Amino acid sequence: MTRLSVNINKIATLRNARGGNMPDVTKAALDCERFGAEGITVHPRPDERHIRYSDVREIRPLLSTEFNIEGNPIPSFINLVCEVVPDQVTLVPDAADAITSSSGWDTIKNRGFLTEVCRTFREKGIRTSIFIDADPAMAEGAALCGCDRVELYTEPYASGYASGREKAVAPFVATAERARQCGLEVNAGHDLNLENLEFFIRSIPWTAEVSIGHAIICDALYMGLETAIHEYLKRTGTHA
């Protein structure tokens, strides 16, 4: 069964655009759990333009499902993760000024650095996932870094879905298979939505977790947050 982790960054973006505490990010996280989400994901960036480090500290002790913190492992991020000790940390190589994540790690060139980061989190008992492109060699490299999972960067799949979904998903299947052969579990995220999610999971049924935020919040504008989460759960194989 593929777990659905709801990324609440966009809720924080809306709050920060106006100031104050509307919408309440902590309440939203707890509501997502109440509506059936099997995990909560946050991606704090150095400029705190959406999720703030203070949000991470506030949310952590209140959650009853998995908590996943993703981000570039700069010193302040590493310190935050070691402080709050989430269930999972996802290492993403995004620049400080990136609008959103746009590529995975080169796990071969960055093996030394990633190995040290994975070791740091392993010593805290935190499951570590490395964000990679759909390339079997990157899965092999990730395994050598000592992580537990890889997260497949699925924007290319989403972009190619309409013109040929079998072709679009093929490199992801190959990478997921290689990751499994290397002893890694597989997560996925970025631009997955109600149209393309079900086929992706059907193609890679051993996907452990999908992390989805932007699409869920967009759909929630029309159908409400609870209904949107239920619709995504249906497509992951969970009948909400």
- Residues at the annotated binding site for 3-amino-2-oxopropyl phosphate? 7, 18, 191, 213-214
Q: Which of 33, 38, 185, 190 is catalytic?
A: 190
Among residues 108, 166, 176, the alpha carbon closest in space to that of 142 is found at: 108
Question: For this structure, is 116 an active site residue?
Answer: no
Q: Which of 43, 66, 151, 209 is catalytic?
A: 43
Q: Which of 66, 70, 151, 185 is catalytic?
A: 70
Q: 143 near 179, Cβ under 8 Å?
A: yes
The residues pairing with 133 across neighbouring beta strands, listed in sequence order, are none
Q: 216 near 5, Cβ under 8 Å?
A: no
Question: For this structure, is 230 an active site residue?
Answer: no
Binding residues for 1-deoxy-D-xylulose 5-phosphate: 45, 50, 100
Q: Would you tell me how many other CB atoms lie within 10 Å of the CB of residue 218?
A: 13
Binding residues: 7, 18, 45, 50, 100, 191, 213-214
Residue written as tokens 């960055």?
110
Among residues 83, 88, 66, the alpha carbon closest in space to that of 6 is found at: 66
Question: For this structure, is 239 an active site residue?
Answer: no
The set of catalytic residues is 43, 70, 190
